[in-house]
Amino acid sequence: MLYAGFMSTAPPPLPRPEDAVGQSELELLQLDTGPVVDEPCLRADAARNRARLLEAAERLVAEHGAAGVTMEAVAAAACVGKGTVFRRFGDRTGLLAALLDHSERKFQAALLSGPPPLGPGAPPVERLRAFGCAMLRRSIDELDLQLAAEPSADRRHTFAPRRFLRGHLALLLRQAVPEGDSELLSHTLMAYLDVALLHHLTEQCGMPAERLREGWLDLVARVTRTEPPAA
């Protein structure tokens, strides 16, 4: 089984929404190549409708914000039946995730094969620092969409992109903190970068991004028991 499914029940004739930004199970090996690559020959009409839907969704986001993206509205705007939207994207968060797919893919690529310190080549602690700063930047950029794309509480942690990022953190932590429980620590670090938390701190508390950045560097220093970089 190549994909981790997003849906609770996946009846055979519904092979699974292809575009649910699935990740290969290889993600833990850092060989994840992303979802679309293996999207195996979508039927012509299906591909057409998929494009229509994404375009319509994008327009709706631009016009009414992420909250305005109702499944019905997207379907109507794309001149497509509601069932089609669900068949293609599984559920609302799947659709939103597909909208964020491009950015996600770029980010993953930067981690796996981009220039250091984000990509390989730099010492792990430095990569940890860079990771957080990049995540902060990206999340704050796309706050509303990211927030709306957050899956329900019980699926949040099995959500493929998140699993990938957390796995990456765990990898770096294994190198930087060999004596620690890198699984648990990776969850802790991920939580600092949680979209809902960022939203709360920036929008509701008015906290400046710079403070969040410093907080991250400090947290990494404490967790790895190193000294923070010179300010």
- Contact between 15 and DNA by CB under 7 A: the answer reads yes
Q: Is 57 exposed, middle or buried (0-12, 13-18, 19+ CB in 10 A)?
A: buried
- Residues 116-155 touching a second copy, rule: CB under 8 A, are 147, 150, 153-154
**x/- map, 25-44, DNA, by CB under 7 A:** -----------------xxx
Q: Which range in 6-14, 109-117, 157-165, 176-184 contacts DNA by CB under 7 A?
A: 6-14
The DSSP code sequence of 47-94 is HHHHHHHHHHHHHHHHHH-GGG--HHHHHHHTT--HHHHHHHHSSHHH
- Specify the length of the chain in residues: 231
Q: Do the Cβ atoms of 184 and 44 come closer than 8 Å?
A: no
| Residue 6 interacting partner from a second copy, DNA, none (CB closer than 5 to 8 Å by kind) | none
Q: How far is CA 155 from the centre of its chain?
A: 13
- Residue 7 or 147: the one with the smaller Cβ distance to DNA is 7
- Binding residues (CB under 8 A) for a second copy: these are 147, 150, 153-154, 156-158, 180-181, 184-185, 187-188, 191-192, 194-197, 199-201, 204, 211-212, 214-215, 218-219, 222-223, 225
